[in-house]
Structure 1
């Protein structure tokens, strides 16, 4: 096994360790947060915990005791705290943002996240070059501390605990199964995510081995996705007003995976190949932003506060739980039938995810839905 293969293998295991808590804990995390309340405190504790976990890496590196096992444990615990943060965040969002500004609020939050993906790799690369990778993680740890401090400055109104369903783990999943909008949305996004992870399990290998793209050039190509995300955050609001929030969501479900068809098609002169890869990543970033903002606003309006964390936990368990399964399937298919055929299967499968939405009420949503009873 050469160095690239070994590096990708370790990166895959670390990614799986970070995603596993979504499958294991998300349902229970949502029930725990709804039962306990105090979501802002939970988010602050999750931020500080993640900062502490990250800080152990440069400390262990400085003491010359850093091991791969520690990285796996840190990734798993970071993923666990991220689950708690996410299921708490969804309730805080609706307590701070007026209903008529849900789309705008989602656009700002997702746009700032995409903007950080544009600037982050450059700053991170500079820090790694100056300080080495483990020490550069100190900056990441500090960012979580800053997030905790900013959360401490807000005073959201938290919903009362629903005594009749207090802590009931299955309530979130039952709501999803009862709601045609949420059920179809979960089926669509989980399908897209599964096949996208099939795709990206092989993308770097395909780009570097088959298309002979240098790692530095590939980094620039991957960064174009963040640029597409920033633009997506700027246009989703006007798009939703023009065509309706439901059709905007459908469009995002198509635009997210469809540009990836350019990757297995990429052939010919080198400038053409690089241009196609750039367009694929840019289009993916644009599409996923339209998708995320639209579905986030729909769910913010539709899901009742008393169930919000549990529904978020159940949704997370499925939507994120399929991701490591997609990576495993991608590796197995790539070995069995080759890289390019697997990329074609993944692209077509991801685009087909939108079919779940066509017969559902989502396709007819012009405005945000009323809160479910």
Structure 2
């Protein structure tokens, strides 16, 4: 009997539309992470901001997801996505460009930094929800895991290079002018997205319900689903801890240890290194251990290394803590790839925007809460106390997946209803 030879699997990068979307993401994310370093350093070095103000500044970037995330998801399900992505990018470019202009004129204030951060976060709500809902139309559901692995890897590369480069850019040209890198990246991303030519499905006005009901339905859908709910809670725990670490690192390294912005960039980038390797390994680990089992097994093995972060100090201990952060963050990248692929595969097309908005609402709520919590604990009990609390939460977070239906899941199609 003649054996059938399967044709080689076509790489997702062979698709020109995906490549364009990928490079749009690459430029946008690189600039975003440069801005992530630039604005808090600008607030501390030029405007004398303290831990609580840095925490508030960081929280304002994600607060819009709590305020408008759910209605934006419902609204997005009623609209084509590409034009919204372009408009969001252009708006963020203009906001970022206003910072060096105000600084040159001697008009820069914390109020402006708060406003720019909040409004940029609001536009990011539209971009992120639209992007997640647009991707299945660009690549098709059969290639979502491969596409998400590539985009998650990009996220972590941008995190590593953006924050690492960002520290040195801030050191070289100053934090105000570093914001221009962010502005240029958003403008270039808008141009690339404008070149994507993918036909989106026709809208179905007959299926529309009142906007408020659709807005709430996305969150209800996520919380009611036995597979999506633990993914949401696990991601929320990771985001809460990640923001506690971010705020604590910004204050510990710049204000307490009096180290350079370049050193800050390296420490912030350390987590991205681990997450990058986690995203690269995710498809292989998912196939061998199973998509659900991989998340808790890898988390159980790597998350406890977060406890080393609390020992950061001048000298070798700084790098011991950074190494612990590298290992602990591996599960971030793996969970990003496998968790997002599960979500996008098991959710119907007409529910994608609302489902993604529900997740973003939960995730960004955790980000805002983590930034505010990190600032408050840092102000009243010290940044090391904040890091210890975050490390313990992170070390135990894999238990959320262990005690869920995902515990034994091997293939995504097992979760499709």
Distance apart, 1:144 and its partner CA: 0.9
1:284 aligned residue (328, 335, 360): 328
The corresponding residue for 2:150 is: 108
Distance apart, 1:307 and its partner CA: 0.9
Query: Is residue 303–residue 371 contact of structure 1 (8 Å, CA) maintained in 2?
Result: no
2:193 aligned residue (141, 151, 175): 151
Query: Is residue 17–residue 72 contact of structure 1 (8 Å, CA) maintained in 2?
Result: yes
The corresponding residue for 1:179 is: 225
- The worse-fitting range, judged by mean Cα deviation, of 25-34 and 175-184 is 175-184
In the alignment, is residue 91 of structure 1 matched against residue 133 of structure 2?
yes
Structure 1 5/247 Cα, relative in aligned 2: closer, same or farther at 3 Å?
farther
Structure 1 139/255 Cα, relative in aligned 2: closer, same or farther at 3 Å?
farther
Query: Is residue 222–residue 281 contact of structure 1 (8 Å, CA) maintained in 2?
Result: no
In the alignment, is residue 214 of structure 1 matched against residue 259 of structure 2?
yes
Pairing of 1:229-308 with structure 2 (within 5 A): 229-251=275-297, 253-254=299-300, 257-264=303-310, 270-271=315-316, 273-308=317-352
In the alignment, is residue 315 of structure 1 matched against residue 359 of structure 2?
yes
In the alignment, is residue 353 of structure 1 matched against residue 377 of structure 2?
no
Query: Is residue 51–residue 141 contact of structure 1 (8 Å, CA) maintained in 2?
Result: yes
> Distance between the aligned counterparts of 1:334 and 1:130, measured in 2?
29
Note the alpha carbon deviations across 1:294-336, whole angstroms, 9 max, x for none: 1111111111111111111121111111222233334444566
Query: Is residue 27–residue 313 contact of structure 1 (8 Å, CA) maintained in 2?
Result: yes
- The worse-fitting range, judged by mean Cα deviation, of 19-28 and 133-142 is 133-142
Query: Is residue 232–residue 287 contact of structure 1 (8 Å, CA) maintained in 2?
Result: yes
Query: Is residue 192–residue 351 contact of structure 1 (8 Å, CA) maintained in 2?
Result: no
Distance apart, 1:50 and its partner CA: 0.7
How many residues are treated as equivalent by the alignment?
Answer: 368
Distance apart, 1:266 and its partner CA: 5.9
In the alignment, is residue 29 of structure 1 matched against residue 72 of structure 2?
yes
> Distance between the aligned counterparts of 2:172 and 2:395, measured in 1?
42
> Distance between the aligned counterparts of 1:350 and 1:270, measured in 2?
25
Which structure 2 segments of 5+ residues have no match? 1-43
Distance apart, 1:261 and its partner CA: 0.7
Query: Is residue 256–residue 291 contact of structure 1 (8 Å, CA) maintained in 2?
Result: no
Which structure 1 segments of 5+ residues have no match? none
TM-score (ref. length: structure 2): 0.79
Structure 1 249/71 Cα, relative in aligned 2: closer, same or farther at 3 Å?
same
Residue aligned with 1:157, SS = coil
In the alignment, is residue 363 of structure 1 matched against residue 410 of structure 2?
no
RMSD of aligned C-alpha atoms? 2.9
